Amino acid sequence: MTTVEPAIGDAFGDVLRECWDAGAEAGHTFEVIERDDGLLLLADAARYFAGANPWSTHEAAILPLATGRVLDIGCGAGRHLAALGDRCQPEGIDPSPGAVQVCRARGLAARVADIDHLPAGAHGKDAYDTLLLFGNNLGLLGSPEAAPGRLAGLAAVAAPGARILGSTTDPYATTNPLHLRYHQRNREHGRPAGQLRLRVRHQAIATPWFDYWWTSVAELEQVLAGSPWRLSAIERDPGNAGRYAAVLMLR
């Protein structure tokens, strides 16, 4: 029997729309995250609608540093935009049209774009004072090869003195044999241990595969060397030693 691959589409947006239509109720809608070694993870989509504080204490600790014009990159359903409220000028971007649709339904400013196609800023009046890469979205740096260009692109839309507030997971803070085997598989293919190849699935739809690079603090510092950004502070998650948030300052 021939295996049928899922159709490619906005699976992530479909998950968020279904969850929103159900009142963002926990236990109603689940996101399937597939890794390229066949690992499947099931996650409650209601977490995309939770406030910043209960979802991740390490992010909540540095969220007050978000000031001025804020761009949330990979904003999803807008949980961090909602947490920022009216105290600054937040807007979000996401490659998922469905995610943007949900943000707008919630009264949040968002548009379809991604880290490789950022809204124009160019150090003028439209430049951003804070760039958010929360929800593990420092992983959107993608790979050691892609990261320098993406860091330069972030700097190009940043105002003088701007900061990046981001979070990620140290891939080495695990003893799970599935993850350790994946690390070894990556090394055998010349990839960093923490470089993930992922897609989101929902029913018979899947997003395209994308790279997501989890780094240790040392790896993050290494990729920042020679970039327009420097590491200013680290905030650890007290409940999970591998998860951390980082404050990056424009040089």
Mean pLDDT of the chain: 94
Please check whether residue 68 is in contact with residue 130, taking contact to mean a CB–CB distance below 8 angstroms.
yes
pLDDT tens-place string over residues 49-89: 987 656 688 999 999 999 999 999 999 999 999 999 878 88
Q: pTM of the full predicted structure?
A: 0.94
Q: For the residues 137-146, what does the mean pLDDT come to? A: 97
Q: How far is CA 90 from the centre of its chain?
A: 16
The Cα 135–Cα 59 span in angstroms is 8
- Which helix (H) or strand (E) is 128 found in, with range? strand 128-133
Angle CA 32–41–169, to nearest 5: 115
The Cα 88–Cα 74 span in angstroms is 18
**What pLDDT, on a 0 to 100 scale, did the predictor assign at position 86?**
79
pLDDT tens-place string over residues 213-229: 999 999 999 999 999 99
Q: Which of helix, strand or coil describes residue 74?
A: coil
pLDDT tens-place string over residues 185-213: 999 999 999 999 999 999 999 999 999 99
pLDDT tens-place string over residues 90-102: 999 999 999 999 9
Confidence of residue 241 (pLDDT cuts 50, 70, 90): confident
**What pLDDT, on a 0 to 100 scale, did the predictor assign at position 122?**
47
Separation in Å, CA 213 to CA 56, 69, 219, 222: 19, 27, 10, 14
